[in-house]
Amino acid sequence: MNQRILVWDLPTRICHWMLALSFAGAFVTCESERLCNIHMLCGYTVLGLILFRLVWGFVGTRYARFSEFVRSPAFVIRYLAQLFRGRAKYPPGHNPAGAVVILLLLLLGIASSVSGWAVYEEIGGDWLEELHDYASYSMLAMVFVHIAGVLVTSYLHGENLIGAMITGRKRGNANQAISGNKSAIAMLLLTVLIGCLFWAWPE
Ligand code: HEM
């Protein structure tokens, strides 16, 4: 377990940090009429990145796949109990509890960006604006839970998980490493997505 092995492919890492940036951008511009275009662009980028991440969860590399990190509630509770007793196994990919927050972030991101788009297009009424606010603030709360979870599990597992999301590398056995980034597939997917989003950009 002393080797540094590649677990997060490059598309997953770029997607993650762009998601963090565009979410922050959407939040700091949400109250300003002057920055409304930037707010929309950031929200739209959040939507594009999450759509990319959802597809990547099926076609991406091993630890980016949903099948690798979505677990039953009983499994998650067992993991948390073991973690606080200092007996949890260190997973090469996402830990089962962090994965729950990740799924919530993706769902709330979809709800927030799609409702924002619908508000701008004037589809629906006041309830859509309320949904947009509710989803966005819930997502902000989840981001804090996410960051706190990352810091706690970094401490308990004795590895800097933020550094791992930058370099893609964690400690593990050679046979657990992914063999590449699947960058060509990611580029193809991104081109299709950007085309679709460009087409659907509000007038
Ligand atoms: C400075 C702020 C942030 C830090 C330090 C951070 C850190 C991390 C780390 C270390 C991981 C990997 C966790 C693991 O090892 O299992 C991760 C995953 C993830 N984070 Fe963050 N994060 C931040 C902000 C955000 C924001 C704002 C969002 C969403 C809006 C977000 C969404 C995600 C998602 C979706 C994943 C899963 C990555 C994947 O499999 O594609 N993060 N984050």
- Which CATH number fits the domain that encloses residue 120? 1.20.950.20
User: Is the CB of 147 inside a 6 Å radius of any atom of ligand 1?
Assistant: yes
pLDDT(93) > 90 = yes
Parent domain of 147: 3-200
Cβ within 8 Å of residue 118, ≥6 positions away: 124, 128
- 116-142 average pLDDT score: 94
Residue spans of beta strands (DSSP E) within the chain: 3-6, 169-172
Residue nearest to atom 17 of ligand 1 (CA): 165
In the prediction, which pLDDT does 124 show? 79
In the prediction, which pLDDT does 61 show? 98
- 170-184 average pLDDT score: 95
**Which residue pairs, CB below 8 angstroms and at least 24 apart, start in 182-185?**
182/9, 182/11, 182/59, 182/60, 182/61, 183/9, 183/10, 183/11, 185/59, 185/60
In the prediction, which pLDDT does 125 show? 85
Distance from the first to the final alpha carbon of the chain:
54
**Ligand 1 centre from 162 Cα, in Å?**
8
Atom of ligand 1 nearest to the CA of 56: 41
In the prediction, which pLDDT does 118 show? 93
- Grouping H, G, I as helix, E, B as strand and the rest as coil, residue 170 is strand
- Compute the distance between CA of residue 177 and CA of residue 194 in angstroms, rounded to an integer: 30
- Compute the distance between CA of residue 182 and CA of residue 5 in angstroms, rounded to an integer: 16
Residue nearest to atom 14 of ligand 1 (CA): 94
User: Is the CB of 97 inside a 6 Å radius of any atom of ligand 1?
Assistant: no
Atom of ligand 1 nearest to the CA of 12: 41
- Of 143, 76, 73, nearest in space to 108 by CA: 143
In the prediction, which pLDDT does 197 show? 86
pLDDT(123) > 90 = no
In the prediction, which pLDDT does 57 show? 98
pLDDT(1) > 70 = no
Atom of ligand 1 nearest to the CA of 161: 10
| The total number of structural domains that make up the chain | 1
**Ligand 1 centre from 166 Cα, in Å?**
10
Q: What percent of the chain has pLDDT over 70?
A: 99
- Compute the distance between CA of residue 93 and CA of residue 83 in angstroms, rounded to an integer: 15
pTM comes to 0.94
User: Is the CB of 162 inside a 6 Å radius of any atom of ligand 1?
Assistant: yes
